Amino acid sequence: MKKTDKIYIAGHRGMVGSAIHRKLKQEGFTNFITKTSKQLDLRNQAKVDRFFSKEKPDYVILAAAKVGGIMANNTYRAEFLYDNLMIQNNVINAAHGVGVKKLLFLGSSCIYPKFAPQPLQEESLLTGILEPTNEPYAIAKIAGIKMCDAYRSQYGSNFISVMPTNLYGPNDNYDLDTSHVLPALLRKFHESKSKKDDKVVIWGTGKPLREFLHVDDLADACYFLMKKYDLPQFINVGSGSEVTIQGLASIIKEVVGYQGEIVQDLSKPDGTPRKLMDNSKLQEMGWKPTISLESGISQVYNETFVSKQA
Ligand code: GFB
């Protein structure tokens, strides 16, 4: 990748897209093309084709997607399937149409079967039933992986797929209905502390295990893979450490300095019991994460809640 090559970041304002944009700028890249979803509806094939014909990017980071936590996935099932299929079909096909040198497609750890052996290995894909709450999103992301591989097989396209674990970091979504657990708990503990509430409600039993990776580590891994990885097999990107939701709540309670109690809302789903990614393929290539969960949570809390109040 030359520093002057034209790079299109689809989803540049989202948590993942903005982190990759930051990372590439830090590495000295200068030639970016970005469009907000209002400027370019990626679900519209004709508009996407026209955009690619005009801009002819050399590289594409496909980080645009309809994303959300367990409740959003389970509520907006049709939108999670339709929007994500349309976005990725249009961008991947148009990238082929103008001969993009390389495309990186972002998926998610939810593509794996609900009860796949842990840690999750890439070979386990499609070996069992999916977690019902996020099946539409998982099906869309699996289709994206298969589409990248099919274009490589038929046309020789260098389209790679990256499957990150649960992510957190700057530009996260803090809406309590649609967000993921980590930002939701940061907000809940912060607001309960500010309002001097005596308890914070967490969804489900608190027993599920989750792995978390700071989005700046993901961005570093994506840059690493853009430089070094050119194979059909999609690749996991994780931190290698997991925590129960109850344990995460305790970490966040500590970081926020909240004194009240944590109670469970058992009417809410637990979702997948565990989804620890097997990171060995990426580690064997020489990459590893650098931001620990505790320091990452403190950094995000201070940037998002504390400094804004100062
Ligand atoms: O992060 P989360 O919404 O998504 O939920 P998943 C993780 C766990 O945290 C679940 C519990 O067991 C939730 O019940 N949880 C506890 C909470 N309190 C809360 C809360 O206040 N908000 C939220 N959101 N969860 C998603 C998939 O699954 O993982 C997506 O649905 C995507 O498609 C994403 O793959 C990475 O980790 O369960």
**What is the number of the ligand 1 atom nearest to the C-alpha of 270?**
12
Residues 256 and 110 in one domain: no
pLDDT of 308 > 90? The answer is no
Q: Which residues are catalytic?
A: 137
Q: How far is the CA of 93 from the centre of ligand 1 (A)?
A: 31
Q: How far is the CA of 180 from the centre of ligand 1 (A)?
A: 5
- How many whole angstroms separate alpha carbon 308 and alpha carbon 286? 37
Dihedral pair phi/psi, residue 164, rounded to 5°: -80, 155
pLDDT digits (tens, 9 = 90+) for 101-159: 999 999 999 999 999 999 999 999 999 999 999 999 999 999 999 999 999 999 999 99
Average pLDDT over residues 60-82: 98
Question: What CATH number does the domain containing 197 carry?
Answer: 3.90.25.10
What is the model's pLDDT at position 53? 98
- How many whole angstroms separate alpha carbon 149 and alpha carbon 295? 37
Q: How far is the CA of 165 from the centre of ligand 1 (A)?
A: 12
3-state secondary structure 176-201: CCCCCHHHHHHHHHHHHHHHCCCEEE
pLDDT of 236 > 70? The answer is yes
**In which band, very low, low, confident or very high, does the pLDDT at 36 lie, cut at 50, 70 and 90?**
very high
Q: How far is the CA of 21 from the centre of ligand 1 (A)?
A: 26
Rg of the chain, C-alpha, whole Å: 19
pLDDT of 263 > 60? The answer is yes
Which residues form the domain of 247? 181-207+243-274+299-309
**In which band, very low, low, confident or very high, does the pLDDT at 307 lie, cut at 50, 70 and 90?**
confident
Candidate of 180, 201, 243, 297 to mutate for ligand 1, largest count of ligand atoms within 8 Å of Cβ: 180
What is the model's pLDDT at position 310? 56
Residues 137 and 186 in one domain: no
Average pLDDT over residues 228-254: 97
Buried b (16+ CB within 10 A) or exposed e, 27-56: eebeebbbbeeeebebbeeebbeebbeeee
Average pLDDT over residues 167-172: 97
Residues 124 and 197 in one domain: no
Average pLDDT over residues 221-233: 97
Residues 142 and 248 in one domain: no
Average pLDDT over residues 285-310: 93
pLDDT of 173 > 90? The answer is yes
pTM score of the predicted model: 0.97
Residues 163 and 199 in one domain: no
**In which band, very low, low, confident or very high, does the pLDDT at 25 lie, cut at 50, 70 and 90?**
very high
Residues 115 and 139 in one domain: yes
What is the model's pLDDT at position 309? 67
> Residues lining ligand 1, judged by CB closer than 6 Å?
69-70, 73, 108, 110, 133-134, 137, 166, 179-181, 184-185, 202-204, 208, 210, 245, 268-272
In order of 73, 134, 140, 146, the CA distances from 78 in angstroms are 9, 11, 11, 20
What is the model's pLDDT at position 62? 98
Residues 201 and 127 in one domain: no
Average pLDDT over residues 272-277: 96
